[in-house]
């Protein structure tokens, strides 16, 4: 009697010879996909958590995770069987999409899911890799993984103070069950299949970005740039007026830098909506995000040194509130081709004026800000055409950018200017108060 089944093909001699390499390559590929998905999905936490310090930390971890993914990809490409694409398998993507939660969920609970379930599992996966590889034959991978383990351990330590008192038991159990169904990120654990009653919440109610971002305990407003020194902290004419005291300009530019937190929030929205993007696009977005986070920290840390109470500085929300109404490629076009490209002339004048103060720290911060922004505009020229293609946009880039600029102006009249001042004029930082702080 003839069997109707197809017998398994015996392994070829060539495949058998490379089995040890192929197995380690398989694990490296899984680690790459997990790190890549962390970058894409943990970015949704940035604009939902409130405290700037937590936003800054998340941006740093996302950038470092992007670095892990890039090194894993480069190492994987040196080995047999890594593959020529950068796609993420559905089983991994599904769990990370689940971890994003809904836009109404407590963002600290969601953060606990990432940092108390998914990232500890990644740490365990890296440790497993070290156990099963040959430390001499696979030396390059070993050294990378040792560094990544140190990073993951530090990430968990750094996030702990921000999650103190957060009750995330139910959510963590939910994610743990999804992870157990995989047997861990590398399939190295005993697989525990999901119960029939398990519900993938992200598939029941797909995630959408919130209509506004959070700034925690800090006061809010629509915008910080204006023309009235009795109302606005950054008085536009003062920035370029040669008669303005350099000490006043320094204070105003630190407010400007701190408000780059709005760039952090709206740039972070782009990752999740571009799952088909090349990894290098997400890598550069992660660098861009971390840069903007550092720029905001320049102001956040320097203003108190100059006598500013941060609780008197209102946070502007207009850019997020307007841009979130536009698709990702339009958000990115406005950021790189309009806001950043258009800031260079004014910032050049500001830098020259601040140099009058012989303030080495201020000069250094502003120089690095400018250097970073130049790179961001280069990123825009490199990636905007590809991002446009992801969304089926076929117009020439210049035509698309001009149309997007006009659309932004229209949307600004609809969605801008809706956030009232949290503080009365007497309590908030204004241009007139900056004059007094500067001793002018």
pLDDT tens profile 224-243: 999 999 999 999 999 999 99
Q: What is the pLDDT of residue 4?
A: 44
Q: State the Cα–Cα distance between residues 429 and 242, nearest whole angstrom.
A: 23
pLDDT tens profile 292-343: 999 999 999 999 999 999 999 999 999 999 999 999 999 999 999 999 998 8
C-alpha R_g of the chain: 25
pLDDT tens profile 189-209: 999 999 999 999 999 999 999
Q: What is the mean pLDDT of the chain?
A: 95
pLDDT tens profile 263-299: 999 999 999 999 999 999 999 999 999 999 999 999 9
pLDDT grade, residue 104 (50/70/90)?
confident
Is residue 234 within 8 A of residue 255, CB to CB? The reply is yes
Q: How many CB atoms lie within 10 A of CB 90?
A: 9
pLDDT grade, residue 13 (50/70/90)?
low
CATH 1.20.1260.10 for domain 21-195, yes or no, is yes
- Whether residue 5 has pLDDT greater than 70: no
Please state the domain extents for the chain. 21-195, 220-437
pLDDT grade, residue 1 (50/70/90)?
very low
- Whether residue 7 has pLDDT greater than 70: no
351: buried, middle or exposed (CB in 10 Å: 19+, 13-18, 0-12)? middle
pTM equals 0.94
Q: State the Cα–Cα distance between residues 212 and 221, nearest whole angstrom.
A: 12
Q: What is the pLDDT of residue 14?
A: 62
Highest-scoring range by mean pLDDT, 20-29, 34-43, 345-354: 34-43
pLDDT tens profile 370-388: 999 999 999 999 999 999 9
pLDDT tens profile 404-415: 999 999 999 999
Q: 161: which residues sit within 8 A by CB, 6+ positions away?
A: none
Mean pLDDT across 157-176: 98
């Amino acid at each position: 009697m003839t069997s109707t089944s197809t017998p398994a093909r015996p392994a070829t001699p060539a495949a058998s010879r490379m089995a040890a390499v192929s197995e380690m390559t398989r694990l490296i590929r899984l680690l790459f996909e997990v790190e890549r998905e962390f970058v894409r999905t943990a970015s949704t936490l940035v604009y939902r958590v409130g405290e700037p310090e937590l936003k800054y930390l998340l941006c740093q971890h996302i950038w470092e995770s992007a670095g892990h993914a890039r090194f894993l990809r480069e190492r994987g490409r040196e080995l047999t069987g890594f593959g020529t694409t950068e796609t993420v398998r559905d089983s991994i993507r599904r769990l990370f999409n689940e971890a994003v939660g809904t836009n109404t969920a407590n963002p600290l609970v969601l953060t606990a899911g990432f940092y108390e379930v998914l990232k500890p599992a990644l740490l365990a996966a890296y440790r497993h890799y070290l156990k099963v590889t040959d430390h001499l034959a696979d030396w390059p991978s070993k050294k990378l993984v040792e560094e990544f383990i140190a990073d993951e351990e530090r990430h968990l330590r750094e996030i702990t103070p921000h999650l103190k008192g957060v009750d995330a038991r139910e959510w963590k159990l939910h994610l743990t069950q999804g992870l157990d169904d995989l047997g861990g990120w590398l399939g190295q654990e005993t697989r525990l299949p999901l119960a029939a009653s398990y519900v993938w919440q992200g598939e029941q109610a797909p995630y959408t970005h919130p209509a506004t971002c959070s700034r925690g305990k800090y006061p809010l407003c629509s915008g910080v740039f204006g023309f009235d020194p009795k109302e606005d902290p950054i008085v536009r004419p003062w920035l370029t007026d040669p008669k303005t005291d350099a000490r006043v300009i320094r204070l105003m530019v630190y407010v400007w830098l701190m408000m780059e937190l709005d760039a952090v929030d709206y740039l972070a929205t782009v990752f999740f909506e571009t799952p088909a993007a090349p990894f290098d696009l997400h890598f550069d977005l992660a660098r861009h995000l971390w840069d903007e986070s550092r720029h905001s920290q320049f102001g956040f840390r320097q203003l108190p040194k100059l006598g500013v109470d941060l609780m008197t500085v209102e946070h502007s929300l207009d850019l997020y509130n307007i841009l979130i109404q536009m698709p990702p490629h339009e958000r990115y076009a406005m950021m790189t081709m309009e806001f950043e490209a258009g800031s260079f002339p004014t910032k050049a004048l500001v830098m020259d004026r601040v140099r009058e103060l012989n303030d080495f720290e201020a000069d250094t911060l502003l120089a690095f800000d400018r250097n970073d922004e130049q790179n961001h505009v280069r990123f825009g020229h490199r990636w905007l055409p590809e991002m446009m293609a992801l969304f089926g946009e076929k117009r020439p880039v210049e035509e698309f950018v001009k149309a997007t600029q006009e659309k932004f102006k229209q949307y600004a009249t609809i969605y801008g200017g809706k956030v009232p001042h949290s503080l009365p004029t007497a309590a908030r930082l204004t241009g007139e108060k900056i004059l007094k702080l500067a001793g002018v």
